[in-house]
């Protein structure tokens, strides 16, 4: 295969899942620091202890051969109360960025990845309040100004739909499930406004830098060829894949989404001037987080199952098993390599923007044996997905990078350290921090060869 030059072979992490150091050097409390975690599940106060191991971790990235490192800033480390700057927080990320550059690794920081200063939730309700828009834009201004001419690629918000759906991540707890769903769409609308204002701001501060959006996308299959199931799949894709990307790129929801939200009584409250903000600028690229596809069928009862996460709640469709896909404990929807290529086709055909795969990975309860991790299952997963990405690339789709999730084991947002994705093992458990020693898995050495060969050797 003729592979692309200057392809960003990378890997990803996120701040609250990897850093630890939750109360060090002036950091404020994040929403993820104060959330309730089930007994026996690790919280993020230590996480993978990247705060004390980042130099070692970046040297491992160099050894792996990474061309890019996608990570996130902890907003509360930079602005503990959401208003005032913590210089030590800026210094921490400055070290990471410059160490990456010294080792020829392109830093790709994300401004918002599932956490925010708890102080802003306490002060005015976080994303429920429009005041959060300007707070986010000021935070973005601090970052863009600090790393002007240094950072070439920025990401605004990671997986906005999930970020606004999960109350333990955004800090807005609501017992009324109907109101919770309504709040999700309103908070998401505020986040879209904040994202657009941040994009415009970067173009003013650092016109040469590029800024993109990252969304969790799932290829949606109809359970059968019945017209009802096909329509259900179309609606599911509109809500779970296109809704937020349409806002990010086109500045508005599709007609179908507007119609659905109106029927759900979930249309967000708008103000004069919002449309101008939403249409003022476009992202430079789209980041795709892909793990698996989903299968849906017609909801024959036309009732909403409020036991599901808010983004799965609908009277129009219900999620069901895909009988054609292999499943595992942590990949309940099935492993679907072809789905990532289908997603690339759909996303590019709709938006015509360059694409980077920002997350793609295999969850497993890895077991350390004789100081080794033999994770052939992860190698098989990554190999099959990279193969599909490169097919799309060879067909001419403008894919400029691939970043598996995750570089090292990170604390899963809801399953702790029993659910691992990393190429590098972190020696700790949910209940014992131990030494957090880094141990390279078999997948590390495999991916190293993939990068060395520029994708020729899978």
Catalytic residues: 159, 359
> Cα separation of 46 and 12, whole Å?
18
d(CA 115, CA 380): 32
Taking CA 353 as the corner, what is the angle to CA 349 and CA 355, rounded to the nearest 5 degrees?
Answer: 95
Distance separating alpha carbons of residues 206 and 191, to the nearest angstrom: 22
* Both structure tokens of 84: 């005032």
Distances (CA, A) of 435 to 335, 396, 409: 33, 46, 14
How far, in Å, CA of 385 to CA of 233, rounded?
Answer: 23
| DSSP run (H or E) holding 217 | none
Tokens found for residue 199: 């994009």
CA end-to-end span of the chain? 11
CA dist 73 and 68 (Å) reads 16
| Strand-strand pairing, 220-222 and 294-298 | parallel
Helix axes 243-250, 177-205, angle to 10 degrees: 30
Query: Measured between alpha carbons, how far is 374 from 66 in angstroms, rounded to an integer?
Result: 21
């Amino acid at each position: 295969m003729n592979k692309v030059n200057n392809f960003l072979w990378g890997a990803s992490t996120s701040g609250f899942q990897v850093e630890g150091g939750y109360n060090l050097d002036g950091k404020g409390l994040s929403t993820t620091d104060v959330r309730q975690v089930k007994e026996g599940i690790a919280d993020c106060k230590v996480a993978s202890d990247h705060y004390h191991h980042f130099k070692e971790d970046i040297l491992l990235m160099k050894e792996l051969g990474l061309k890019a490192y996608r990570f996130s800033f902890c907003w509360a480390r930079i602005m503990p109360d959401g208003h005032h700057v913590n210089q030590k927080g800026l210094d921490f990320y400055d070290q990471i960025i410059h160490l990456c550059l010294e080792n020829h690794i392109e830093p790709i920081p994300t401004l918002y990845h599932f956490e925010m200063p708890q102080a802003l939730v306490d002060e005015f309700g976080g994303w429920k309040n429009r005041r959060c828009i300007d707070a986010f834009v000021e935070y973005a201004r601090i970052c863009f100004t600090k790393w002007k001419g240094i950072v070439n690629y920025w990401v605004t918000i990671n997986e906005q739909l999930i970020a606004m759906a999960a109350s333990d991540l955004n800090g807005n707890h609501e017992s009324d499930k109907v109101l919770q769903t309504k709040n999700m769409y309103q908070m998401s609308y505020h986040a879209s406004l904040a994202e657009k204002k941040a994009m415009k701001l970067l173009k003013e501060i650092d016109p040469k830098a590029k800024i993109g959006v990252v969304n969790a996308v799932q290829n949606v299959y109809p359970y059968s060829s019945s017209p009802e199931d096909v329509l259900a799949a179309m609606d599911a894709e509109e809500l779970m894949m296109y809704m937020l990307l349409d806002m990010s790129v086109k500045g508005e929801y599709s007609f179908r989404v507007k119609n659905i939200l109106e029927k759900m009584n979930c249309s967000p409250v708008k103000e004069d001037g919002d449309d101008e903000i939403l249409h003022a600028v476009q992202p430079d690229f789209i980041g795709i987080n892909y793990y698996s596809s989903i299968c849906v069928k017609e909801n024959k009862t036309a009732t909403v199952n409020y036991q599901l996460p808010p983004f799965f709640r609908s009277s129009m469709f219900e999620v069901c098993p895909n009988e054609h896909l292999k499943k595992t404990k942590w990949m309940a929807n099935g492993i679907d390599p072809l789905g990532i290529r289908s997603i690339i086709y759909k996303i590019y055909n709709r938006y015509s923007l360059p694409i980077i795969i920002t997350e793609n990975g295999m969850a497993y309860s890895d077991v350390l044996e004789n100081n080794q991790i033999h994770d052939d299952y992860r190698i098989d997963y990554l190999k099959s997905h990279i193969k599909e990405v490169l097919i799309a690339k060879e067909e001419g789709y403008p894919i400029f990078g691939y970043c598996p999730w995750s570089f090292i084991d990170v604390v899963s947002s809801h399953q702790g350290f029993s659910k691992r994705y990393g190429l590098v093992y972190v020696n700790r458990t949910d209940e014992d921090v131990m030494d957090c020693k880094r141990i390279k898995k078999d997948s590390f050495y495999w991916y190293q060869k993939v990068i060395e060969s520029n994708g020729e050797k899978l």
